[in-house]
Amino acid sequence: MGHLTKLTHLYLHNLHLRGEIPSSFANLTNLSVLYLSSNQLTGPLPACLGNLTQLSEFDVSHNELQGMVPRSLSELKNLEVLDLSSNKLNGPIPPSICNLTALEEFYLGNNHLSGTLPSCLGNLSANFLFGFDIRNNNLSGALPDSFSQVCNLGMMLLNGNRLEGKLPRSLANCKNLLALDLRSNQIKDVLPSWLDSLPNLKFLLLSSNNFHGEIPPSFCNLTSMNGLFLDKNDLNAGTLPPCLANLRGNLEFLNIGKNNMRGMIPHSFSRDCRLKMIGLGENILEGKLPRTLANCRELEFLNFGNNQINDVFPSWLGALPQLKILILRSNRLHGIIKDVETTKSEFPNLQIVDLSQNNFMGELPTQYFFKLKAMKTVKAERLSSYMGPQIFSTRTHSFDTYSISITNKGIELEYHAIRDTFVVLQLSGNNFEGPIPQVIGDLVGLRLLNLSNNNLTGVIPSSLGNLSLLESLDLSGNKLSGKIP
């Protein structure tokens, strides 16, 4: 193909191509677009690719390329899109890459790159740099202050590395920043109040770091914020700012779980609440569940598990038409889950419910089992997708918003993405008594049913044989009798 010297566009992506990139490509000096992504190409990136000085788009993502990023790529002065993601490239990011000042999209994520971030990365600011993706590598060291020069940066995806130190104050100059993803690093800092100076910031993901202290009230000034993810840190020095519950604007996703935060849950969720997700599990929150949560009519995901909430079952949540996931395990919830005298359908879309390890008593809530429409539906695997929207998608990356941990087959597993065919009923570790109702056999979508460690009596109902999709059934630790049907 090297003799096609007048070729300007070459699309060879997703063709199951094997072998190395031929050095004869260096003869295609008129190429402006070269797509070789989603093949099975191996070997190094040829240094001679630096001859293709007319290239504006170069994509070799999703292959098995090895070796270092060649310095010769710095000769591609017209390059606007560089995508080397999802390969096996190693070594440092060469500082010469900073000469590509025409770049608008820069993707090196999902490789084996190591070393520190070149301080010259601030040079990549001549145009609007929409995507800057170096996630899931082995990069270490501190974030360079030179990011202050990347004033036109749109998305900065640095998650899944070993970056440390503090957030550079210079990031406050990135006024056009839309998304900052620093999940799963080793950054040790307080949450800086200057983040509220980023007027266009829609997604802030700082999960799984070493942030400590409190959540500054100034975060409530981020009225453009769509998703705030602060889970798996050490934010134990304060309580939840009440204004987070009344944040007017666009906030749809809020996750502050696994932080050992104390105090009460704010009781001021406003009538114009747009939240789809609230994740406050694994803290030390107490008191009652706020009734104003009923204002969040778009709520799909609610996790208050592993806290110290002292309340009865919140039957009023059944009026939320979109609620799919309800996690209330390991609290101090108590009492009988009473019948709700209404003809309306409660919890019509609920697919995952975990009330385990509480102090509920009385008979199992049969009346709810009749009304759980989503659990009575069998979805075809081939048509399945994931629960929750994928946010801030780029050409290389999207983020699944919903994740949970569930005890399945005796082992606690974390599901980082949840298929919409996953249906769970967890009622273990309470004081439920009486028989297992036959109506549970109508919940034919169930994949996991756990009624263990209660005081249930009687026989195992034959209707459980209808649950043909069931992968895990745990009835142990009860007082059941009779034959196994």
- What are the pLDDT tens digits along the chain (485 aa)? 767 888 999 999 999 999 999 999 999 999 999 999 999 999 999 999 999 999 999 999 999 999 999 999 999 999 999 999 999 999 999 999 988 989 989 999 999 999 999 988 777 765 667 888 999 999 999 998 876 666 678 889 999 999 999 998 888 888 889 999 999 999 999 999 999 889 999 999 999 999 999 999 888 888 889 999 999 999 987 788 888 777 666 899 999 999 999 999 988 888 889 999 999 999 999 999 999 999 999 999 999 999 999 999 999 999 999 999 999 999 999 999 986 665 466 899 999 999 999 999 999 999 999 999 999 988 877 667 888 877 766 665 667 788 899 877 678 888 888 989 999 999 999 999 999 999 999 999 999 999 999 999 999 999 999 999 999 999 999 999 988 88
Rounded Cα–Cα distance for residues 266 and 256 (Å): 13
pLDDT digits (tens, 9 = 90+) for 117-146: 998 877 776 566 788 899 999 999 999 887
For strand 448-450 and strand 66-68, is the pairing parallel, antiparallel, or unpaired?
unpaired
Q: Confirm if 99 and 73 have CB atoms less than 8 A apart.
A: no
Rounded Cα–Cα distance for residues 454 and 269 (Å): 35
Rounded Cα–Cα distance for residues 65 and 172 (Å): 36
Query: How far, in whole angstroms, is CA 430 from its chain's centroid?
Result: 30
Length of the chain (residues): 485
Residue ranges with strand state E in 101-191: 105-107, 112-116, 129-133, 138-142, 153-157, 162-165, 179-181, 186-190
Rounded Cα–Cα distance for residues 330 and 88 (Å): 42
CB-based contacts of 78, cutoff 8 Å, min separation 6 = 32, 53, 54, 55, 56, 102
Q: Confirm if 410 and 434 have CB atoms less than 8 A apart.
A: no
For strand 9-11 and strand 33-35, is the pairing parallel, antiparallel, or unpaired?
parallel
Give the residue from 285, 284, 323 showing the smallest Cα distance to 302.
Answer: 323
CB-based contacts of 288, cutoff 8 Å, min separation 6 = 309, 310, 311
Query: How far, in whole angstroms, is CA 35 from its chain's centroid?
Result: 29
What CATH fold (topology level) applies to the domain 178-286?
3.80.10
The sign one gets for the Cα dihedral 160, 166, 169, 170 is: negative
Q: Cα dist. 157→130, 137, 257, 304 in Å?
A: 11, 11, 21, 28
Angle at the Cα of 115 (from 109 to 118), degrees rounded to 5? 80
Rounded Cα–Cα distance for residues 356 and 4 (Å): 66
Q: Confirm if 428 and 410 have CB atoms less than 8 A apart.
A: no
Rounded Cα–Cα distance for residues 312 and 359 (Å): 9
CB atoms closer than 10 angstroms to residue 410 = 10
Give the residue from 215, 235, 170 showing the smallest Cα distance to 197.
Answer: 170
Rounded Cα–Cα distance for residues 422 and 322 (Å): 16
Rounded Cα–Cα distance for residues 419 and 179 (Å): 25
- Furthest CA-CA distance within the chain: 81
Q: Facing residues of 285 across strands?
A: 263
89's enclosing H/E stretch is: strand 88-91
For CATH 3.80.10.10, the residue range(s) in the chain are 1-173, 178-286, 311-485
Q: Which CATH architecture has domain 1-173?
A: Alpha-Beta Horseshoe (3.80)
CATH class of 311-485: alpha beta
Amino acid at residue number 361: M
Rounded Cα–Cα distance for residues 395 and 57 (Å): 13
| pTM of this prediction exceeds 0.95 | no
DSSP code, position 366: H
pLDDT digits (tens, 9 = 90+) for 391-446: 766 665 667 788 899 877 678 888 888 989 999 999 999 999 999 999 999 999 99
Coil vs helix vs strand at 151: coil
